[in-house]
Amino acid sequence: MESLRIYNTLARDKQVFVPRQPGEVRMYVCGITVYDYCHVGHARMLVVFDLVQRWLRAIGYRVTYVRNITDIDDKIIRRAVENGETIKSLTDRFIAAMHEDEDALGIQRPDIEPRATHFIPQMLGMIETLEANGYAYQANDGDVNYSVRKFANYGKLSGKSLDDLRAGERVAANDAKEDPLDFVLWKRAKPEDPEGASWDSKYGAGRPGWHIECSAMGCTLLGDHFDIHGGGQDLQFPHHENEIAQSEGATGQTFVNYWIHNGFVQVDNEKMSKSLGNFFTIRDVLEQYDAEVVRFFIVRTHYRSPLNYSDVHLDDARAALTRLYTALKDVAPDAAALDWSEPHAQRFAAAMNDDFNTSLAVSVLFELAGEVNRTRDAALARQLKQLAGLLGLLGREPRAFLQQAAGAAQEGALAADEIEARIAARGAAKRAKDYAEADRIRAELLEAGVALEDKPGGSTEWRRV
């Protein structure tokens, strides 16, 4: 089996993975800030790093996977006050909701899932070390800040130079800072803060900044220098850049060897976000689509590529997953162990060892499904089921899935007479030279999973996609 190669954001290249301790992997992933229900962007991160840890275990590593929960934050405080509930009540509720979403999507729980509020002493200890090492100072407003220009390698992850960074980029103006690019380690408490929003410290009552949370939890649970740190692409700067500055400033050691970042989820080629109004919670999506379909929709795109969200793409994922289950419907897998010497398994492993290329690995599953359909071979059916299982797929009884998928597809599909009526309306628009309306109808049908093909002589044929 080929060596695992990982695209390391720090090196801006794929590198052969060599763990610090042979046979062991220590991995930290930035988790959810729990003030609302998880959205599809969160789902992608959760699935991506679930796939990473599954594959690391599949190829024989002993993995310690830590994914934190941010349970103290300005958004959390604001939402708790708006709701008239305690911070703990709010965060407990949304942690439970997150776990329900994870379970639905087949996401295995991390080995350790630390809450930020359980590590306040460790955060304060790291802040005191940074102050002693000359990297931190207490400003006249009471906040404790990190002095970015004191850290010589600031920008090595993101490729951003301090001289090129605009003052105020992603930073609120604050005259108390020595430099506008300095970031907060400890926020001084405000008189209006609710109960549970601050802790006593030598700097006065307050709460941790966002960045120090992950540095302290990562170093406490995995050691000062560990193998893999992951998260969404949007965390590369400033969050992960600041984690490096904090951790290496405190310990004097390299913080992490390999940095992995998953790409954005997009809607109409724009990043999914609340501000753009193109925001969907996992629960919204699961009301329309089976959870395994949603997982497969995420899995079939390489983790670093943008993931384009639409009903059309989810419908296509359902149809594709149906083809895989269909291959197993009448061919029971045998009970033997996965055979890594079998050609499909070798190609699957090569894909996954090439920076977790699930897109290519899924294409191998379809090749294998085609062979199962052709040969009705129980050994190949076993290979298909077990390889897919490494991606968290094809774990259900095939006929049960196929029955559900057929009902869902039929429920969401346009009836044939409605399609014909829209084609007729499009034809009338074309005859009236209203080509914009004709294009609109064509696009609307395509969004509904119906592709049109204009034929010579003026007729139009359609097919479901």
214 is in an annotated binding site: yes
274 is in an annotated binding site: yes
**Angle at alpha carbon of residue 73, lines to 110 and 67, rounded to 5°:** 10
What is the C-alpha separation between 410 and 403, in angstroms, rounded? 11
3-class DSSP state for residue 305? coil
Q: Is 84 exposed, middle or buried (0-12, 13-18, 19+ CB in 10 A)?
A: exposed
Q: Give the DSSP H or E segment for 4.
A: none
- The residue among 156, 158, 133 whose CA lies nearest residue 146 is 133
What is the C-alpha separation between 463 and 454, in angstroms, rounded? 12
Residue 178 contacts residue 145 (beta carbons within 8 Å): yes
- The residue among 263, 244, 212, 238 whose CA lies nearest residue 160 is 238
411 is in an annotated binding site: no
C-alpha dihedral over 193, 198, 200, 203, to 10 degrees? -80
Contacts of 432 (CB under 8 A, 6+ apart): none
219 is in an annotated binding site: no
- Written in H, E and C, the secondary structure of 215-226 is HHHHHHHHCCCE
302 is in an annotated binding site: no
Phi, psi of 232 (to 5 degrees): -70, 155
**How far, in Å, are 98, 286, 338, 416, 435 from residue 32 at the CA level?**
9, 19, 35, 44, 46
What is the C-alpha separation between 187 and 249, in angstroms, rounded? 20
Q: What is the CA radius of gyration of the chain?
A: 26
Residue positions forming the annotated binding site? 30, 214, 239, 243, 274
Residue positions forming the annotated binding site for ATP? 274
Residue positions forming the annotated binding site for Zn(2+)? 30, 214, 239, 243
